[in-house]
Copies of this chain bind each other. A is one copy, B any other.
Amino acid sequence: MTVSRASMAEDGFEFSRLIAGFWRLKDWGMNDQEVLAFIEQCLELGITTMDHAMVYRSEEPFGRALALKPELRDRMEIVTKCGIRPVGFGKLGAKAVNHYDSSPKHIVASVEQSLRDLKTQYIDLLLIHRPDYLMEMEEIAEVFDRLESSGKVRNFGVSNFTTHQFAALQQACDHKLITNQVEFSPYNMGALDSGVFEQAQAYGTGPMLWSCLAAGQLMTGADEKAKRIMAAVNIVKEEVGASCAEQVIYAWVLGLPCNPFPLLGSSKIERIRQAASSEQYALTREQWYRIWEASNGAAVP
């Protein structure tokens, strides 16, 4: 059984429902062969979508691994992000002040570097990483056009945008923004009430979801809230017969009606394999709300 596939928007371009996140690839301590093996195992599980960003410094090691077996490129979709410029990132970084930059010049320069580092001819999905208060909507629309017609980028989206920011950029763009990648987990449920999920449904897009395990806070039961959530997760785990808590958390996230695409973040292929089975656990509403209630600290009103 492999992970299912779906379009984020109605254009037919498919991604894997669960996405391999390479946020921490630099910290995984893998050599190129090990990265390659990890990628191949993901692909075997049906996890074909690979999430990167310039600021993760994940593209270069990923690209080296991919160069060992270039024929894998056609079997995957690569997502990457641009627009954050922190100190310490060379020409794409900042001189003195961490900032956002969604100018055409920076977007193009970042994409060019991503292509070089990833050792690929195209990016499947490019995201503006953070909402830049100085973004010129029309200019972004125009650079998206150029990147698309040159064949360098196939789809566009954003990350961490408010509903207002998404609506304004979408209005300026001919290209459909196919996703808004936002944080969501049983620990951080803010997106349930901010309108981003309802906007995704109204616009017919599918949000990518980052930090679904709350950066480890959930699995380690870091505080009272995390402990409450994990207690509820474990009850549901028994009920559905899942083999680990992570499966239940991903199943909970996948229960959202907004066509969500959760990111995985682990370097352990065994944990990836377990997560890849999450789709088989469709939680009942009582199970879903049990975890919501544990996070909320009180039952639904």
Contact = CB atoms under 8 A, between A and B. Distances in A.
Contact of A162 (B86, B195, B202): B195
A68 B193 CA distance: 45
A268 B301 CA distance: 27
Contacts of A290: 96-97
A276 interface: no
B285 A134 contact: yes
Contacts of A301: 130
Interface string A84-96: 1110000000111
Contact of A299 (B98, B168, B257): B98
Q: Output the residue of A95, A137, A164, A255 with the most chain B CB within 10 A.
A: A164
Contact of A286 (B97, B199, B285): B97
A98 B167 CA distance: 35
Given A97-B287, A135-B257, A162-B193, 19 more contacts: A85-B285, A94-B286, A97-B299, A98-B293, A98-B300, A99-B285, A99-B286, A99-B300, A100-B300, A103-B285, A130-B301, A134-B257, A134-B288, A137-B201, A163-B164, A163-B195, A164-B198, A167-B202, A168-B198
Interface in A152-201: 162-165, 167-168, 171-172, 192-195, 198-199, 201
A30 interface: no
A164 to B, nearest CB: 3
A199 B198 CA distance: 15
Nearest to A84: B300
Contacts of A201: 137, 168, 172
A136 interface: yes
Contacts of A137: 201, 257
How many identical subunits does the complex contain?
A: 3
A279 interface: no
A250 interface: no
Interface of A: 84-86, 94-101, 103, 130, 133-137, 162-165, 167-168, 171-172, 192-195, 198-199, 201-202, 255-257, 285-290, 292-293, 299-301
A64 to B, nearest CB: 29
Contact of A133 (B84, B136, B194, B256): B256
Q: Which 6 A-B pairs have the closest CB atoms?
A: A164-B195, A99-B289, A168-B198, A164-B198, A98-B299, A97-B286
Given A136-B257, A257-B136, A97 B168 contact: no
B97 A289 contact: yes
A68 to B, nearest CB: 34
A32 to B, nearest CB: 31
Contacts of A84: 300
